[in-house]
A = this chain, B = another copy of it.
């Protein structure tokens, strides 16, 4: 509002009607009739090429079908949930799955959400990720294991993105809680912000993306039908999250990580809702 007033005063001083330029501003909120500076073409291209599948979406399908559906929905990147590659797989099994994924034309960039409740599970997660050639572990390590995670991140050079689970999560409900717990650790330990769970805490995920930009490593995108604990997951664009604002924020903070779709609805037939969601985000990126 301040910018608006300043502009109006400027025009008044200059003796020019503001009608011609009504609302010409760079504000991110598209609900106001203010002009917006489009995201640069190169940033749009990067955001689109970094759209990814969080394979929890396809938890009811075996690996081959999961890869086929991921390709059909237009993705180039995937992170495995353990349904598609068990955490206790042998190195041979891991390499075989990684090879299969590559052959399907997909970049197996990570795994998650990986729960780590013991030292052995932390050690196993890093070996698993390294063997698969993954670039990030999306995880939920018990807080008392964070010093070990810190050591492992330095040893393996594989970042760990801690996932917030919203109102029901006693350990990591919000991005703020996660950041508070990792702020003194290696910079490669940060956040996989789940925008649905964040919104269910009553927090606009665009605000937290901007606030914790330097520790934002990965994203789980979805939509929810209410900004409260009982809000449930829904096709992106049909819910309450202000996605255009969120995407503009990612561009503004120069976010370079993946934007992974964790579509939780319709687990037996997720492709239509997932495709609607990815279409929506692509449309927002192209028009924003």
- B-binding residues in A (CB < 8 A): 14, 16, 21-24, 26, 30-38, 40-41, 72-74, 235-238, 243-244, 247, 271-288
Contact = CB atoms under 8 A, between A and B. Distances in A.
Nearest to A278: B276
Given A24-B21, A33-B40, A283 B287 contact: yes
Contacts of A285: 283, 287
A17 B236 CA distance: 40
A74 B279 CA distance: 14
Contacts of A33: 37-38, 40
Nearest to A35: B35
A273 B275 contact: yes
A275 B31 CA distance: 25
Contact of A35 (B38, B40, B272, B274): B38
Contact of A26 (B35, B271, B283, B284): B35
B35 A283 contact: no
A282 B244 contact: no
A282 B237 contact: yes
Contacts of A247: 287
Nearest to A72: B272
Contacts of A276: 73-74, 275-276, 278-279
Contact of A238 (B16, B36, B74, B284): B74
A72 B271 CA distance: 12
A74 B237 CA distance: 11
Given A31-B41, A281-B283, 19 more contacts: A14-B16, A24-B24, A36-B38, A72-B272, A73-B272, A74-B235, A74-B238, A237-B279, A237-B283, A244-B283, A247-B287, A273-B275, A276-B278, A279-B279, A279-B282, A280-B286, A284-B284, A284-B287, A287-B287
A37 B14 contact: no
A244 to B, nearest CB: 4
